[in-house]
Amino acid sequence: MARRSKQVIFENIEVIDAGAKGKSVAKAPDGRVIFLSNAIPGDVVDIQTFKKRKAYYEGKAINFRSLSEKRATPVCAHFEVCGGCKWQHMKYEEQLFFKQEEVVNNLTRIGHLEMP
Protein backbone atom coordinates (compact mmCIF):
# COMPACT_ATOMS: atom_id res chain seq x y z
CA MET A 1 0.00 0.00 0.00
CA ALA A 2 1.43 3.36 -1.02
CA ARG A 3 1.89 6.15 1.48
CA ARG A 4 -0.02 9.29 0.78
CA SER A 5 1.82 12.47 1.53
CA LYS A 6 -0.20 15.34 2.87
CA GLN A 7 -0.11 18.35 0.58
CA VAL A 8 1.00 21.51 2.35
CA ILE A 9 0.43 25.08 1.21
CA PHE A 10 2.98 27.74 2.08
CA GLU A 11 2.00 31.37 1.56
CA ASN A 12 4.07 34.42 0.72
CA ILE A 13 7.38 32.60 0.09
CA GLU A 14 10.22 34.28 -1.81
CA VAL A 15 12.08 32.20 -4.40
CA ILE A 16 15.78 32.62 -3.57
CA ASP A 17 17.80 30.68 -6.13
CA ALA A 18 17.80 28.61 -9.30
CA GLY A 19 18.65 24.93 -9.13
CA ALA A 20 19.41 22.19 -11.63
CA LYS A 21 17.09 21.04 -14.42
CA GLY A 22 15.02 24.21 -14.50
CA LYS A 23 13.94 24.04 -10.86
CA SER A 24 13.99 27.05 -8.60
CA VAL A 25 14.65 27.03 -4.87
CA ALA A 26 12.76 28.51 -1.93
CA LYS A 27 12.87 27.97 1.84
CA ALA A 28 9.89 26.75 3.85
CA PRO A 29 9.17 28.27 7.28
CA ASP A 30 10.38 25.01 8.87
CA GLY A 31 13.80 25.46 7.19
CA ARG A 32 13.44 22.81 4.51
CA VAL A 33 14.24 23.57 0.89
CA ILE A 34 11.37 23.69 -1.62
CA PHE A 35 12.08 22.85 -5.27
CA LEU A 36 9.65 24.55 -7.68
CA SER A 37 9.15 23.98 -11.37
CA ASN A 38 7.36 27.16 -12.43
CA ALA A 39 8.95 30.12 -10.64
CA ILE A 40 12.18 32.09 -10.89
CA PRO A 41 14.38 33.80 -8.27
CA GLY A 42 12.77 36.97 -6.99
CA ASP A 43 9.17 35.80 -7.33
CA VAL A 44 7.01 35.87 -4.19
CA VAL A 45 4.55 32.99 -4.41
CA ASP A 46 2.10 30.72 -2.65
CA ILE A 47 3.31 27.13 -2.97
CA GLN A 48 1.44 23.84 -2.95
CA THR A 49 3.69 20.89 -2.21
CA PHE A 50 3.17 17.46 -3.73
CA LYS A 51 6.20 15.61 -2.32
CA LYS A 52 7.66 15.76 1.16
CA ARG A 53 11.04 14.25 1.93
CA LYS A 54 13.23 14.32 5.01
CA ALA A 55 15.18 17.41 3.93
CA TYR A 56 13.08 19.03 1.20
CA TYR A 57 9.70 19.51 -0.48
CA GLU A 58 8.78 19.49 -4.15
CA GLY A 59 6.00 21.81 -5.16
CA LYS A 60 4.46 24.23 -7.58
CA ALA A 61 3.65 27.92 -7.36
CA ILE A 62 -0.13 28.27 -7.33
CA ASN A 63 -0.38 32.04 -6.84
CA PHE A 64 2.14 34.72 -7.81
CA ARG A 65 1.98 37.60 -5.32
CA SER A 66 4.75 39.56 -7.03
CA LEU A 67 6.84 38.81 -10.10
CA SER A 68 10.59 39.02 -10.28
CA GLU A 69 12.38 41.72 -12.25
CA LYS A 70 14.36 38.82 -13.78
CA ARG A 71 11.22 37.58 -15.55
CA ALA A 72 10.76 37.84 -19.32
CA THR A 73 8.00 36.88 -21.74
CA PRO A 74 8.76 33.47 -23.31
CA VAL A 75 9.34 33.63 -27.05
CA CYS A 76 7.93 30.16 -27.72
CA ALA A 77 4.18 29.57 -27.49
CA HIS A 78 4.83 26.00 -26.28
CA PHE A 79 7.14 26.95 -23.40
CA GLU A 80 4.91 25.73 -20.57
CA VAL A 81 4.10 22.32 -22.10
CA CYS A 82 7.18 21.35 -24.13
CA GLY A 83 9.89 21.33 -21.48
CA GLY A 84 12.75 21.85 -23.94
CA CYS A 85 13.68 25.33 -22.71
CA LYS A 86 13.81 25.39 -18.93
CA TRP A 87 14.47 29.09 -18.34
CA GLN A 88 12.82 30.84 -21.26
CA HIS A 89 10.69 32.90 -18.85
CA MET A 90 13.89 34.45 -17.40
CA LYS A 91 15.96 37.23 -18.97
CA TYR A 92 18.93 35.85 -20.92
CA GLU A 93 21.58 37.59 -18.79
CA GLU A 94 20.06 36.03 -15.68
CA GLN A 95 19.97 32.60 -17.36
CA LEU A 96 23.71 32.85 -18.01
CA PHE A 97 24.40 33.89 -14.42
CA PHE A 98 22.48 30.97 -12.89
CA LYS A 99 23.89 28.44 -15.38
CA GLN A 100 27.45 29.56 -14.58
CA GLU A 101 26.67 29.38 -10.86
CA GLU A 102 25.44 25.80 -11.30
CA VAL A 103 28.62 24.75 -13.14
CA VAL A 104 30.88 26.32 -10.49
CA ASN A 105 28.82 24.71 -7.71
CA ASN A 106 29.08 21.27 -9.34
CA LEU A 107 32.83 21.58 -9.89
CA THR A 108 33.47 22.59 -6.29
CA ARG A 109 30.94 20.35 -4.56
CA ILE A 110 31.14 17.19 -6.67
CA GLY A 111 34.52 17.55 -8.35
CA HIS A 112 36.27 18.93 -5.24
CA LEU A 113 38.06 21.54 -7.36
CA GLU A 114 39.03 24.98 -6.10
CA MET A 115 37.79 27.71 -8.40
CA PRO A 116 39.73 31.01 -8.75
**Residue 6: its pLDDT value, please?**
75
**Residue 2: its pLDDT value, please?**
57
| CA 57, chain centre distance (Å) | 11
- Which residue numbers in the chain have pLDDT < 50? none
pLDDT in tens, 9-36: 999 999 999 988 889 999 999 999 999 9
- Which residues does residue 27 pair with via DSSP β-bridges, in sequence order? 33
**Residue 22: its pLDDT value, please?**
84
Three-class secondary structure of residue 95 per DSSP = helix
**Residue 39: its pLDDT value, please?**
93
d(CA 113, CA 96): 21
* CATH class held by domain 9-109: mainly beta
**Residue 4: its pLDDT value, please?**
62
Which residue ranges make up each domain of the chain? 9-109
Question: How many beta carbons lie within 10 A of that of residue 80, not counting itself?
Answer: 11
Pairing between strand 56-66 and 9-18? unpaired
Reported pTM? 0.83
